[in-house]
Every structure is written in C-alpha cells, then in structure tokens.
Amino acid sequence: MTAETTGQPVLRPHAEDAFAEELSALAAADDRPRPERWKLSPWAVATYLLGGTLADGTVITPKYVGPRRIVEVAVTTLATDRALLLLGVPGTAKTWVSEHLAAAVSGDSTLIVQGTAGTAEEAIRYGWNYAQLLAKGPSREAMVAGPVMRAMSEGMIARVEELTRIPADVQDSLITILSEKTLPIPELNDEVQAVRGFNLIATANDRDKGVNELSSALRRRFNTVVLPLPASSDAEVEIVSRRVDQLGRSLHLPAAPDAIDEIRRVVTVFRELRGGVTTDGRTRVKTPSGTLSTAEAISVVTNGLALAAHFGDGVLRPADVAAGIQGAVVRDPAADSLIWQEYLETVVRERDGWSDFYRAARDAASGRPHGDAA
C-alpha cells in the first residue's frame, strides 16, 4: 500500500509482498466463506501461517512453527470482533505472527502503532495538520488519521506493538474503540465508526520490567494467546534454519553449504543456558540475564553467515558464531561473562566434537579485552 515502489529492492519487504504468491494461490484455492473484507477465509489464514500443500500443488511455507491450536485460536479471535493479544517472552515471534496475520487477513500489515513510553494518544487516534487547521479551522481535511482510525474506516487489521509499554491513560483510549467500535472526534462533533473487517492485534511481552499492566477493563476486550518458547530442540533448530535461510536470501548472502550443525550447536547453547540444565539433564548451568530467545539465535546465525561469506571461506565455522553467541549471552559484563566462562569450561570443553567451538569461544572471549567491552 505504500507508494515507494521506485523499483529499488527494499531491505525487508512486507509480509504481504514477500509472500504475495502464496497469498494469491491461497486466495484462488480458497472456497470457504470469508468474513467481510477478509482476503482469505479463516481456514486459509491458518494454513498460510502453519504451512501446507494446496490442492493445485502450491506449497505454503510455514510462517509459524508451533502448536496448531495457537494459530487457530488467534485467527478465530480475529473473525469474531474480539481483539487479539499476543503474549510471550521476547523473541517468541509475536510481532512476526501479528504481521503475517494482518497480511493474510487484510492484505496489509502496515497499519501499525509502535508502543513506547512516549506513545501519545494522537498516535492511536488522530492528529492535526496544523497548517490546515489554522487555515480552515477544525475539519475533516485538517485531521490526520492514525493507523487505528484508518483501519477502522477501511475495515482492516490494525496492529499495536508492545502494548504494555504504552502509558496506561493512552492504552485506555483503546477501550472505546474495542467495545463501541467507534472513535469519537469531539472537536468536530463527529465520529468514525469501524466497518466490518476491522480488528486489532496487540503484542506485549510478559518479561519486561516496568511495563504498564493493562487495566482489567481493557484486558477484557482481548482474547489472550500466549506464544510459548519452542518445545523441543529439533523444533527450534527447524525454526532457526528456516528463518536464517529466508533472511539470507533477502540479504543476498551466499547460501552456506551446510550450516545445520552450527545451527544445532547455537540452539543447544541457547537452550541449555536458558533452561539452566544441559540437554542430557546431567549438569546444572547458571542462567544469564539475557532472554536468549529463538530470535536471538536466528540473528547469531545470520550474523555468522555474513561473517563466513565476507571474511571466511563461505562455510559457517564455529569461529563465525562464537563471537555472536558471546554477545547474546553476555549482557551484563560482570555476571554474565562469568557464567559464560563457567559454561565454556564445565560443559563445552568436555563435549565430544565441540573442541573447535570451545577454542573459538575462548579466543572470542580473550580477544576482546575488558577495555573493548567498556
């Protein structure tokens, strides 16, 4: 929907552009009833997220790897007029799911409000074009509609990221929108009523400290879906390699021949440190302060691929990921680097086939003296 189609390839295309083919194939194959203004039926939206093969042979890649139930409840919620709240620790693909849901349902994932501590009411409702306002006085022309208002008037899905970071009073301006489905404009003694098809997806993480808890009045307007961390190591490896592959393509990194072993290693390290125990269940390890989410694992591997492609021999080697892992693990320079050292010495050093990684991680740790970190 954005106008910048200058022909220049963008760094990261929107979901609806990146997967335009899959969406149109789904739309063609989809003969189930669609809610008003939905581009696809709920079933097709779920298929778009979970992946599958259509009758005509088109393969739909999975966008979300996880329990089917979660996606079904999320899509179904959007089909009712309840808003959807995606909850989870950072890096559990909340934003990713919300983008793809919006892309599949409305064909547009760009009606987005980024929640911050400074998000003002205008960002959610509407602002004014002051030149127009001065010239013409309060009028529809002088009004600048926010994303939510546009979604309401056009019957689309609006997205609010990090809802809990938004100050409580601003959050509550959503209540009228979600319950009355209308946005009053007192200045004009007017209102914008939501047309069918409008709904809202909010994401929030339940780990951050200092967030603004939702008021129960607002909370009641949402169906809550908690996105879990990947259940098994294999599932996580699958997620990481799939995303790394996609990212690599869009960043035009040369394809790495066989990175799966390194990916497995990164995922193992992350899972062990996150869970506080080694995969064989025999050794307890300390847990660092970072979240060590799947998303971070993905970025470590992508980073490593870039290193391997540009500075190495194109093969993802332990040295390429070691520094990245250290960066992800060591958030608090004092406590976390101790934890990381301890993990290296007690777990990594003795593990069969991990000696390359151990040396690389040691080099990375010592190659960055304290001065560098400061």
Partner 1 sequence: MTDRPLLLGVRHHGPGSARSVHAALAARRPAVVLVEGPPEADDVVALAGDPAMSPPVALLAHAVNDTGRAGFWPLAAFSPEWVAIRWALDNGVPVRFIDLPAAHSLALRDTAESDPTEPGAAGPGTAEPRQPAPGTAEDAEDAEDAEDAETTTAADAAAEPSAVADARDDLRRDPLAALAAAAGHDDAERWWEDVVEHRSGGDDPLAPFAAVEEAMAEVRTALPTEETDRDLVREAHMRLRLREAVKEFGADAVAVVCGAWHVPALRERRTVAADRALLRGLPKVRTEITWVPWTHRRLGRAHGYGAGIESPGWYAHLFSAADRPVARWMTRVAGLLREEGFPISSAHVIEAVRLADTLAAMRGRPLAGLGETIDAVRAVMCDGAEVPLNLVIDRLVVGDVLGEVPDAAPAVPLQRDLTAQQRRLRLKPEAGGRHLDLDLRKDNDADRSRLFHRLRLLGIPWATPAAAGSTGTFREGWQVDWEPELAVRVAEAGIWGITVESAAVAKARADALAADSLAALTSLAEQCLLAGLGDALPTVMRALADRAALDTDVAALAAALPPLVRSARYGDVRSTGTEELTRVAHGLAERVCVGLPTACTGLDADGAAAMRRHVEATHAALALLDDAGLRDRWRGTLRRLARRDTVPAVLRGRAARFLLDEGVLPDDEADRLIGLELSPAVPPARAAGWIEGFLAGGGLLLVHDERLLALIDTWLGSVPADSFTDVLPLLRRSFGSFEPGVRRSVGELVRRSPGTTTGGSETAPTPGFGDRTDSGRADAALPVLRLLLGEAAAGGDPAASDPPPAPSAAPPADDPIGAPA
Tokens 């290693």 found at: 265
Q: Which helix (H) or strand (E) holds 52?
A: strand 52-53
Residue 220 makes contact with partner 1 by CB under 8 A: yes
Measured at the alpha carbon of residue 89, what is the angle toward residues 85 and 94, in degrees to the nearest 5?
45
Residue 207 makes contact with partner 1 by CB under 8 A: no
Least spacing, CB of residue 21 vs partner 1, in Å? 24
Least spacing, CB of residue 298 vs partner 1, in Å? 24
Least spacing, CB of residue 178 vs partner 1, in Å? 12
Per CB under 8 A, the list member of 42, 91, 290, 324 interacting with partner 1 is 42
Least spacing, CB of residue 73 vs partner 1, in Å? 5
> Which residues 73-92 are close enough to bind partner 1 by CB under 8 A?
73, 75-77, 79-80, 82, 87
Per CB under 8 A, the list member of 226, 251, 255, 335 interacting with partner 1 is 226
What is the dihedral angle through the alpha carbons of 74, 78, 81, 83, rounded to the nearest 10 degrees? Answer: 60
Residue type, 133: L
Residue 359 makes contact with partner 1 by CB under 8 A: no
* CA–CA gap between residue 103 and residue 107 (Å, rounded): 4
Least spacing, CB of residue 219 vs partner 1, in Å? 7
Q: Tell me the window of 49-57, 72-80, 168-176, 302-310 that interacts with partner 1 (CB under 8 A).
A: 72-80
Per CB under 8 A, the list member of 69, 209, 282, 370 interacting with partner 1 is 69
Q: Tell me the window of 16-24, 38-46, 135-143, 329-337 that interacts with partner 1 (CB under 8 A).
A: 38-46
Least spacing, CB of residue 46 vs partner 1, in Å? 7
Helix axes 318-329, 294-311, angle to 10 degrees: 140
CB neighbour class for 60 (10 Å; exposed up to 12, middle 13-18, buried from 19): buried
Residue 117 makes contact with partner 1 by CB under 8 A: no
Neighbours of 142 (CB within 10 A): 19
Least spacing, CB of residue 123 vs partner 1, in Å? 26
Q: Tell me the window of 224-232, 235-243, 333-341, 354-362 that interacts with partner 1 (CB under 8 A).
A: 224-232
- Are residues 159 and 200 in contact, defined by beta-carbon separation less than 8 angstroms? yes
Neighbours of 153 (CB within 10 A): 15
Least spacing, CB of residue 32 vs partner 1, in Å? 9
Residue 175 makes contact with partner 1 by CB under 8 A: no
Residue 27 makes contact with partner 1 by CB under 8 A: no
The residues that bridge with 310 in the sheet, in sequence order, are none
Residue 223 makes contact with partner 1 by CB under 8 A: yes
Query: Which C-beta is closer to partner 1: that of 13 or that of 228?
Result: 228
State the alpha helices, DSSP H only, in the chain. 15-18, 20-29, 42-50, 68-79, 94-106, 121-124, 130-136, 147-154, 168-171, 173-179, 216-219, 233-250, 260-275, 294-311, 318-329, 335-343, 355-367, 370-373
Instruction: Please choose, from the candidates 127, 239, 232, the residue with its C-alpha nearest in 3D space to the C-alpha of residue 183.
Output: 127
Residue 120 makes contact with partner 1 by CB under 8 A: no
DSSP state of 349: T
Per CB under 8 A, the list member of 27, 43, 167, 287 interacting with partner 1 is 43
Residue 25, both tokens: 């194939």
Per CB under 8 A, the list member of 149, 178, 225, 306 interacting with partner 1 is 225
How many residues in the shown chain lie near partner 1 by CB under 8 A?
Answer: 20
* CA–CA gap between residue 340 and residue 242 (Å, rounded): 27
Least spacing, CB of residue 350 vs partner 1, in Å? 14
CA 253 to chain centre: 22
Query: Which C-beta is closer to partner 1: that of 283 or that of 355?
Result: 283
Least spacing, CB of residue 150 vs partner 1, in Å? 26
Instruction: Please choose, from the candidates 109, 64, 118, 121, the residue with its C-alpha nearest in 3D space to the C-alpha of residue 88.
Output: 64
Q: Which residues would be at the binding site for partner 1 (CB under 8 A)? A: 42-43, 46, 69, 72-73, 75-77, 79-80, 82, 87, 216, 219-220, 223-226
